Amino acid sequence: MAELSTLARPYAKAAFEYALDKQQLSGWFEQLATAAAVVSDSGMEAILNNPSLTAAQQASTVTDVCGDALDAQMRNFICVLASNKRLPLLPEIYRLFGQFKANYEKSVDVEVVSAFDLADEARDRLAQALGRKLERQVKVRTSTDSELLGGVLIRAGDLVIDGSVRGRLNKLAEALNS
């Protein structure tokens, strides 16, 4: 995983800087999502791993499948990736581009997992508190996991806050065993 990020980072950074310069961050983000989804498809992976295809043929295949979802600049970007044998990196490039975009826009996606459905008011208060703590605009996505027993588990990028009953019980068990 670290190797993929290392290889993809210069391409993601170049794409981000270009999109930022052209004021097309959202457009490029959507186009990268489309191209990454196409490249991630198992059928497409088999085609792209075919050694008899040239880089131009690989790029053409990807852009043809994406159709009108890609503009000329994104098609050129895909050609550059193909010529450098980096098309399989598109999902990682998309992920890194999203991180660059979120940092620039000072926003963060937060996943809140709770034992029960959160009321809208509780979710909004949690988003406001996290926004103040992280100094970013927070976009909350919620889900439920009955195994938590109670409390919440919050994931915001690399930050994980485990306020669940299950997490507390695990910490207590570790303390008792040591």
Structure tokens at 28: 């490029």
Are the C-beta atoms of 57 and 14 separated by less than 8 Å?
no
* Listed ranges 46-50, 84-88, 126-130, 146-150; the one with the highest mean pLDDT: 84-88
Please give the C-alpha separations between residue 24 and each of 75, 76, 142, in angstroms, as whole numbers: 15, 16, 29
| 98-112 pLDDT tens trace | 989 988 888 888 898
CATH 1.10.520.20 fits 2-102, yes or no: yes
Q: What percent of the chain has pLDDT over 90?
A: 47
Structure tokens at 79: 């050609």
Domain boundaries in the chain?
Answer: 2-102, 107-177
